[in-house]
Amino acid sequence: MAVSKQKIMIVDDDNNIAELISLYLIKECFEAEIYNDGESALAALDTYEPNLILLDLMLPGMDGYQVCREVRAKSNIPIIMLSAKGEVFDKVLGLELGADDYMEKPFDSKELVARVKSVLRRYKAVPETVQETSEKCVEYPDLIINQTNYSVIYMGKNIDMPPKELELLYFLAASPNHVFTREQLLDQIWGYEYMGDTRTVDVHIKRLREKINDHESWKISTIWGIGYKFEVRV
């Protein structure tokens, strides 16, 4: 019985780069389709049903950030952003919008394939049937974090959060009073040894604190020189 190949959607307006990526992936037994703009990629999303999207940031018309927002509004398909921009701000913005990884151009073909395989492994680690039937939810006074349906209810109100913010909050809250280093949090939330600045975690914590204030029963605590913990007062 033939095993169906995993499908990769390549969204890049530079057709030479896109073709090269496609060749690398096909060589590794993936199926690949190329789209040169965000609009056509979004239009094909439901029919092509990719297992992962390689998304360039600098696209004509709708840029990669907007494409990422549109995809995340209806799907958790893994996204790896590709960009010639290497600034921390660009990386953090991409990750905050829900990208699973970020690679700078030019990149090594072997590293790209390794990142694709790594993200797909993480995504498949929990089967969809389990995601649907087994709720990942933690609850504290005035706070409910549900990673199954990606919702946060704070003081009785639903709080909008990008996926990575919610995952970070859930991870900390699921292990109360446990101290995690920034490196551990990067590895757990983004699922790989992040090749970048640990300030990514600090930015996400700052945004969480802007949305959720310290409670008399719990708070997100900074452990200076180490990292963070979800502190629960007994």
pTM above 0.75, yes or no: no
How high is the pLDDT of residue 10? 96
Chain centre to alpha carbon of residue 134: 21
Q: Which of 109, 125, 141 is the last residue of a domain?
A: 125
Say if residues 169 and 161 touch (Cβ distance below 8 Å): yes
Instruction: Report the range of poorest mean pLDDT among 3-7, 63-67, 195-199.
Output: 195-199
Average pLDDT, the chain: 84
HSE-CB at 117 with a 13 A cutoff on CA atoms is 12
What are the structure tokens assigned to 57, written together? 């940031």
Alpha helices in the chain, H assignment, sequence order: 15-27, 38-48, 64-72, 88-96, 109-124, 128-133, 163-173, 182-190, 199-211
Residues 17 and 119 reside in one and the same domain: yes
Q: Is the pLDDT score of 2 beyond 80?
A: no
Q: What phi, psi does 52 have (nearest 5°)? A: -160, 150
Average pLDDT over residues 114-125: 77
Confidence of residue 212 (pLDDT cuts 50, 70, 90): very high
For 107-118, the pLDDT digits (tens) are 888 888 888 988
How high is the pLDDT of residue 143? 94
Residues 168 and 110 reside in one and the same domain: no
User: What CATH number corresponds to the domain at position 17?
Assistant: 3.40.50.2300
Q: Which among 47, 219, 121, 191 is positioned nearest to 113, based on CA atoms?
A: 121
Q: Which of 125, 151, 174 is the last residue of a domain?
A: 125
User: What CATH number corresponds to the domain at position 137?
Assistant: 1.10.10.10
Share of the chain above pLDDT 70, in %: 87
For 25-55, the pLDDT digits (tens) are 999 899 999 999 999 999 999 899 999 999 9
Share of the chain above pLDDT 90, in %: 45
Segments forming the whole domain that contains residue 56: 7-125
What are the structure tokens assigned to 6, written together? 């995993």
Say if residues 233 and 216 touch (Cβ distance below 8 Å): yes
For 126-159, the pLDDT digits (tens) are 444 333 334 689 999 999 999 888 899 999 999 9
Residues 139 and 59 reside in one and the same domain: no
Report the number of distinct structural domains present in the chain.
2
Q: Which among 105, 109, 50, 45 is positioned nearest to 81, based on CA atoms?
A: 105
Residue with tokens 């040169």: 36
